[in-house]
Amino acid sequence: MNQDLILVINPMAVYTRVAIYQNYNILFLKDIMYPDQDLGRFSHYLEQVNYRRDKILSELDANGICLECIKAIVSRGGLIKPVKSGIYEINDAIVHDLKSSEYGQDYVDLGGIVAKEISDLYPEMRAFILDPVVVDEFSDLARFSGHPDFDRKSVFHTLNQKAMAKRHAKALMRKYSEMKLIVVHLGSGISVSAHCNGCVIDSNQVLDGDGPFSPERTGSLPLGDMIRYCFRSGKSEEEILDMIQHKGGLFAYLGTYSALEVDSRVAQGDKEAEKVFEAMAYQVSKEIGAMYAVLNSEIDGIIITGGIANSHWFVNKITERVDNMGPVHVYPGVIELDSMAQVTLAALRGDEVILEYK
């Protein structure tokens, strides 16, 4: 482990996934968990930057990783202003916008900030983000909401969706830029997107209240009832957003964030879990139908990916509703780490254009 390494980080609410790559080979992989008592010291997730940075560096050092040998660090990109797809070198503008929370708040924002903090400690190390969640390729029609004061925004699982779609196209010996695909990411949030000739022209806004409910998010709520709730509940804006983003979905109905736990409860005959889990699959299916219409009912296939794709029961509930639209391809899990490492390596070699955020 002594030459030209790439450090990949992916921040989550209670852990950071860290990997070391050399060329295309993964040499080290670890989920660095953060105890509740540690996280409880921080009133806001952005206060965790130094804590997470130091934990990452300590873990790498303890496992014999040569920190001076790391040529680049790359992270998932967070909530900055809308950008085109690609790899961006982290600059002061990115860090400023991630810290300002002007474009939203999520734990993914920590990635770019922590990556820059680490790279600043080593003169030869460069810091990047790849395909932030705000990549915007929407068609003009997709931006209409129903009122001119509100535009629909592009916020979805850009990195894993595009990586999976490109891998799928390659497996078929076709070009992603010449295919029409519906890609479904099933994670703590659920995004369903229309990929048309290399661009994502429409998607549900996965962050705070659009599309299917998920393990932690409410998805779309009845708007009138929601407005009345906001005025009558006595809750603050922050509390309402926390409910929508982190305390909805499976957690609100069943008291757990784990879809695989719900899957197990269904297998054991829990009828309430079955009803809620099927309702989530029902809503995902409806969103697939919407994207099918966006693509003029002409698609090359439907890709289902993410952690919940490991549940055969859940995927079957979706497939039985949508398989008449086109072939359904299931790729459980995510390939975000591999994609970040591969594109970063290409960028360092000059084979991938490094974009500038302004």
Q: Which two tokens stand for residue 103?
A: 């474009």
Q: Which domains does the chain have, with CATH numbers?
A: 5-135+336-355 (3.30.420.40), 141-326 (3.30.420.40)
Distance of alpha carbon 69 from alpha carbon 7, whole angstroms: 10
* DSSP-derived secondary structure for 190-236: EEEEEEETTEEEEE---SSS-SS--SS---S--HHHHHHHHHHS---
- Region 164-169: what's the mean pLDDT? 98
pLDDT tens figures, 18-60: 999 999 899 999 999 999 899 999 998 899 999 999 999 999 9
Q: Which residue has the tokens 């289902």?
A: 304
Tell me the pLDDT tens digit for each residue of 69-115: 999 999 999 999 999 999 999 999 999 999 998 888 888 999 999 99
Is residue 123 predicted with pLDDT exceeding 80? Answer: yes
Percent of the chain at pLDDT > 70 equals 99
Specify the pairing of strand 87-89 against strand 70-76. Answer: unpaired
Q: How confident is the model at residue 1 (pLDDT cuts 50, 70, 90)?
A: very low
Helices (H), 210-327: 223-232, 237-246, 249-254, 259-267, 271-294, 312-322
Provide the pLDDT confidence category of residue 2 given band limits of 50, 70 and 90. low
Mapping DSSP to helix (H, G, I), strand (E, B) and coil, where does residue 94 land?
Answer: helix
Measured torsion, CA atoms of residues 239, 240, 244, 250, in degrees rounded to the nearest 10: 60
Contact 106, 160 (CB under 8 A): no
pLDDT mean across residues, the chain: 96
Q: pLDDT tens for residues 302-323?
A: 999 999 999 999 999 999 999 9
Least confident of 3-7, 219-223, 273-277: 3-7
List the one residue out of 81, 328, 355 whose CA is nearest residue 183. Answer: 328
State the pLDDT at residue 209: 81
pLDDT, mean of residues 270-292: 98
Question: CB of 192 within 8 A of CB of 200?
Answer: no
